[in-house]
Amino acid sequence: MIQRPSYQRILEEYRDTEQVKVLQGVRRCGKSTLLEMFRDSLVEDGVNPGNVFYKRLDALGEPLDYSAQALLDDMVAALQASDRNQRFYAFVDEIQDVEGWERVIRRFHTERGVDVYLTGSNAHMLSSDLATHLSGRTTRIDVFPLSFGEYLEFVKASDGKSPDPDAAFPEYLSHGGMPSIFSFKERKRELVQRELSSITDTVLFNDVAMRVGLRDAALLDKLVTYLFSTSGNLFSARKVTGALRSAGRKASVETIENYIAAIEQAYILYACPQTGIMGKEVLSPLRKFYPVDTGLRNLAIGFAQRDIGAQLENVVFVELLRRGHVSEVGASPTSEVDFVARRYDEKQYIQVCASLLEEGVFQRELAPLRKIADGFPKIVLTLDRSRTGITEDGIRIVSLVDWLLAD
């Protein structure tokens, strides 16, 4: 198993605190592996193996009808058999697969000297149930597919040599960073496509259709394909319903919005709403949507070499999420900024562009930033390095690859 130090540091920081630690994110992004590695690190650190309970609820050997009572019985038995003079660690993977799990964790959490770690793949279930039974007693850790830096480490472990970042980036952009694509000896397109198709099907069936009770599988599939293939474009539910009606499918705006909410709750898709810049509000704000991984996005378009700008935006948006930023589309009557990224009291304006070699493109990308009068940082991220540096009016032009690898 390949280390992911940023997450392991977070888990170590929260070790032995009162809160229940919840690792949340799309299926197959590496939550289970992180949990296993942290469990193993505890034993290596001297924790008695008998004081560690680990249950992976989606494992092949687990009963399909595993109940909350069975989970409670197993956890209590392990606790009673442990050394009560030491702290007891409980790890439960894919907790949402057990109906009524939240009552089990609430009871177990009240025990002295117990440290609980969970993973989950459905935001609605985790947020609603945790809020009801464990309000104020949880720490949520968002887990994403591999960052570009992590991807390079996985390539190094897989290929036996350190890759050149600029040479490796096109594959990362195309295939994305789901860790399971490294389970193959060679990352061939057809194998990667098969794995990403399996991930998409699993998420849509287990964490969208079944969890929320969506019955129109064909509509769900068409909507996901549309959202993924048009990511980076402003979205209007009314236009989508109109297009569906033209194609002979009836669906209301409310239905489309409900489906989108369910897809977002599976952590496979994120919304980026419009916000006003230069002090002006957006009267009728729209949204852009970005999949959690560009490989999943590109699967929807058959890995066609198009919309490179939208793919780059997708990578930047998810990286901003990974770094703890809340991002919006900056809108004004005459221009748009790709991302207005906020974190605590910080704010930065970001434009994303494949190349700034052409003078017209250079001026066009910088124009919206030049209209903003405040003093927050303004950045253009680009694949070419021809114009990197700082302009006379203080706009930073940065290599996208370098930005992704920065701390």
Q: What is the 3-state secondary structure (H, E, C) of 239-306?
A: HHHHHHHHCCCCCCHHHHHHHHHHHHHCCCEEEEEEEECCCCCCCCCCEEEEECCHHHHHHHCCCCCC
For residue 53, give the 3-state DSSP assignment. strand
Q: What is the pTM of this model?
A: 0.94
Task: Give me the tens of pLDDT residue by residue for the chain, a chain 407 residues long.
Answer: 789 999 999 999 999 998 999 999 999 999 999 999 999 999 999 999 999 999 998 777 888 789 999 999 999 999 999 999 999 999 999 888 888 888 899 888 888 999 999 998 887 666 666 656 676 788 899 999 999 999 999 999 999 999 999 999 999 999 999 999 998 878 888 999 999 999 999 999 988 888 777 778 888 998 999 999 999 999 988 888 887 777 777 888 998 999 999 999 999 999 999 998 765 566 667 899 999 999 999 999 998 888 899 999 999 999 999 999 999 999 888 889 999 999 999 999 999 999 999 999 999 999 999 999 899 999 999 999 999 999 999 999 999 999 999 97
HSE, side-chain direction, 13 A CA sphere, residue 84: 7
